[in-house]
Amino acid sequence: MSIAMSKLTVPVFVRGLSILSTLLAKGEAHAAAAGMAPETLLGARLSADMLPLSAQVQRASDTSKFAAQRISGGEAPSFPDEETTFAQLQQRIAATIAYLESVDPAQLDAGADREIRLNWTAEGPVFTGENYLLTFALPNFYFHVVTAYDILRNQGVKVGKLDYLGSFEQK
């Protein structure tokens, strides 16, 4: 028994982004109720040299978008990181989900052996699609979703572990 690349990518990312959207909405409501300026919460960080909440959302968008693009070998829309409000970040998440759901599952399935080269340096790193997904894209995607959650908790927003886990896909 094994799982197709199309099932290991788009549904996993769409699920995580949907949860992130719910977390953000709870953050926005908390800020409003607490009299906190929205930009204060969106600019909150866990340490001075970590990215703030708004950028964690942008990176969750990009890590999932690039994973689908690279594994499928197709093209993806450009998102220039200009969001400064909760509404704009929700639009970014929605646009990312729309792109992910537009990717042909057959192209993703064909990507397990595709050579994937990150452009950090002239030489790479170079992955197979499978290694890229399991040792880079998924850990990186979860990093940004969890860190967004952790920033909200650190700022006193009333979200809990079940908000992060989301509804389960049961048998």
Q: What is the rounded distance in angstroms from the CA atom of residue 119 to the CA atom of residue 126? A: 9
CB of 126 to its own copies, least distance (A): 5
Alpha-carbon distances of 3 from 19, 70, 96, 97, 108, rounded to whole Å:
23, 19, 23, 21, 12
CB of 129 to its own copies, least distance (A): 8
By CB under 8 A, residue 34 contacts its own copies: no
d(CA 150, CA 156): 10
Q: Could you say whether residue 36 binds its own copies (CB under 8 A)?
A: no
Residue 53 interacts with its own copies (CB under 8 A): yes or no: no
**Omega of the bond leading into 125 within 30 degrees of 0 (cis):** yes
Q: Which residues bind its own copies (CB under 8 A)?
A: 1-5, 7-8, 11-12, 15-16, 46-47, 50, 109-113, 115, 124-131, 134-136, 138-140, 142-143, 146-147, 149-150, 153-154, 156, 161, 164-166, 168-171
